[in-house]
């Protein structure tokens, strides 16, 4: 079945540091890939997405490129801020199947950014 | 911006009791979902719901679980006889389109269910 694996956390960075959170996936069809973010006390929010190979999703300075050859969708940001402290979830939806609305999530990575 | 609202934020119940978790999806959305996250584990899909019937459910969603949209605005998840292992954060989500590539899922803040 489909699965998503994220790098182990938590990740602790200083403000303005470079961020990478690794995400790899296994899927039988042609998945779409997503990054969701959960700020303290809030629900999951879509951060960015990519729906086909080589697409780059971007939002709020975050980027991730859909790499089919390495089955990866790593999240990057060049300069993190304290306000980026949150839990980040990589997820996929198997767009080649019938489960369009069903997301398969990774385990989440806690990011803490210190001033 | 419209949002998905879940109540209560925290529910404590005794093992064997029935519990109903409530959600108010975004008003023009047609597709509804429940997910859960056991502490320290992944967020897991439970069920999707469209046109007043279940579209898909996971193996977790057994006969102890049911969903309902009783009045056109609320979307509920009922657990008939709670078990200790049902303790988790339950997230409701809604979407405007079946294909979430076109329209992303909007999640509520979650209900933390604690079964004692």
Average pLDDT over chain B, rounded to an integer: 93
Q: pLDDT value at position B18? A: 97
pLDDT of residue A97: 55
Instruction: Identify the segments of chain A with pLDDT beneath 70.
Output: 95-100
CA angle, A23 then A26 then A30, to 5°: 105
Specify the pLDDT at position B97: 87
Whether B78 contacts B66, CB under 8 Å: yes
The pLDDT tens digits of the residues spanning B60-86 come to: 999 999 999 988 889 999 999 999 999
**Residue B7 CB coordination number (10 Å):** 13
Q: How far is A8 from chain B (nearest CA, A)?
A: 12
How distant is the Cα of B15 from the closest Cα of chain A, in angstroms? 26
Q: What secondary structure, in 3-state letters, does chain A show?
A: CCEEEECCCCEEEECCCCEEECEEEECCCCCEEEEEEECCCCCEEEEEEECCCCCEEEECCEEEECECCCCECCEEECCCCHHHCEEEEEEEECCCCCCCCCCEECCCEEEEEEC
B86 close to B113: Cβ distance less than 8 angstroms: yes
Choose from A36, A43, A55, A92 for mutation: most chain B CBs within 10 A: A43
- Round to the nearest angstrom and report the end-to-end CA distance of chain B: 37
Subunit contact B48:A102, Cβ cutoff 8 A: yes
Nearest to A46 among B4, B44, B104 (CB): B104
A-chain residues near B106 (CB < 8 A) = 43
**Cβ atoms of residues B49 and B35 within 8 Å:** no
- What is the pLDDT at residue A43? 86
**CA-to-CA distance for A85 and A39, rounded, in angstroms?**
7
| Low-confidence residues of chain B: pLDDT under 50 | none
Distance CA B49, CA A7 (A): 32
Note whether B42 contacts A45, CB cutoff 8 Å. Answer: no
pLDDT at B100: 81
Question: Mapping DSSP to helix (H, G, I), strand (E, B) and coil, where does residue B8 land?
Answer: coil
**Cβ–Cβ of B105/A102 closer than 8 Å?**
no
CA distance A110 to A9: 6
């Amino acid at each position: 079945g489909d699965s998503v694996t994220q790098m182990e956390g938590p990740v602790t960075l200083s403000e303005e540091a470079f961020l990478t959170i690794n995400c790899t996936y296994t899927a039988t069809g042609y998945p779409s890939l997503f990054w969701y973010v959960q700020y303290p006390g809030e629900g999951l929010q879509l951060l960015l997405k990519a729906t086909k190979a080589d697409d780059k999703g971007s939002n709020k300075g975050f980027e991730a490129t859909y790499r089919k050859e390495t089955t990866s969708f790593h999240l990057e940001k060049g300069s993190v801020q304290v306000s980026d402290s949150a839990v980040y979830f990589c997820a996929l939806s198997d767009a080649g199947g019938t489960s369009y609305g069903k997301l398969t999530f990774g385990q989440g990575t806690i990011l803490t950014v210190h001033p | 911006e419209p949002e998905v609202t879940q109540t209560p934020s925290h529910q404590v119940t005794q093992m064997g009791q029935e519990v109903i978790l409530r959600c108010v999806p975004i008003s023009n959305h047609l597709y509804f979902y429940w997910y859960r996250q056991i502490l320290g584990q992944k967020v897991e899909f439970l069920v999707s719901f469209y046109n007043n019937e279940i579209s898909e459910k996971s193996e977790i969603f057994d006969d102890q679980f049911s969903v309902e949209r009783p009045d056109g605005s609320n979307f509920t998840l009922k657990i008939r006889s709670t078990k200790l292992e049902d303790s988790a954060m339950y997230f409701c989500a809604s979407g405007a389109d079946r294909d979430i590539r076109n329209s992303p899922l909007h999640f509520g803040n979650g209900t933390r269910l604690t079964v004692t």
